[in-house]
Amino acid sequence: MHGRGHHRRLFLHGAGRKGIAAWPTVDATSGTFLAFPPSSDIVRRTQQVITAMEGGPTTIYAHSIGAIPTVLAARAARTTVSLVLVEPALYDIARGESPIERHISAVTESRAQAAAGNLHGAWAILRPLMFGGPLDEDRWADEEQIAAHWTSTDVPWGHGVREAALDGIRTLVVTGGWNDEYELIAGRLADRGAEHVVIAGHGHRPQDHPRFREVAGEFECRRPEVPRR
């Protein structure tokens, strides 16, 4: 993943690690690593990406919910852009699929419980959905702050992203092969022309796999970009 001319790279984090910490297999000199303020919403994040793209052709790397401002910014871009989307949480493009709807329903119910003041009940719904294990009463005191965070962050749907949003934009989608929701989303993008590679072994963070750098580098070397329609 070495520089090429004036082509620039932006790296966008998901809901967990930020900045360069979110991309451990990527060289720190590879590009600009954005870190969104905790209080920023999707609109503000999209504008931050658009501003960061100014100056010439750009490849944007984005993880999970970071794919949403990435896609919205790419559509608004006045420069050539290509995308590397890692487990993109583009739930809007796969609405109607059972795993997607189950996830949205559970998160909606959890947030309703939190809004009603029942954070414990909200976490009982959300924890097994997001972290693969039931609420443990012995750990509740340690996890209460985490529960408050995950019941108040932006949800990855309702932002107007549609299947055609990436038409004409060169896109690589990398998934971990562990979750039906992300594989369904990747399938929808692949149906519209994106490349899709599965890198198993690191769950929701395939960018942590040593092979990620190679896969992304090969994708970048296959320029020039497809003309936008």
Average pLDDT of the chain is 91
User: Alpha-carbon distance 11 to 31, whole Å?
Assistant: 7
Query: CB–CB of 77/166 below 8 Å?
Result: no
Distance CA 209, CA 226 (A): 28
Instruction: Identify the DSSP state of 23.
Output: -
Question: How confident is the model over 189-193, as a mean pLDDT?
Answer: 95
User: What's the pLDDT tens digit per position in 41-82?
Assistant: 999 999 999 999 887 889 999 999 999 999 999 988 877 899
Q: Is the pLDDT at 197 greater than 60, yes or no?
A: yes
SS3 58: strand
Give 7 or 30, the one with higher predicted confidence: 30
Residue 85 near residue 67 (C-beta atoms within 8 A) = yes
Tell me the per-residue pLDDT of 16-35, one tens digit each, with 9 for 90 and over. Answer: 889 999 999 999 999 999 99
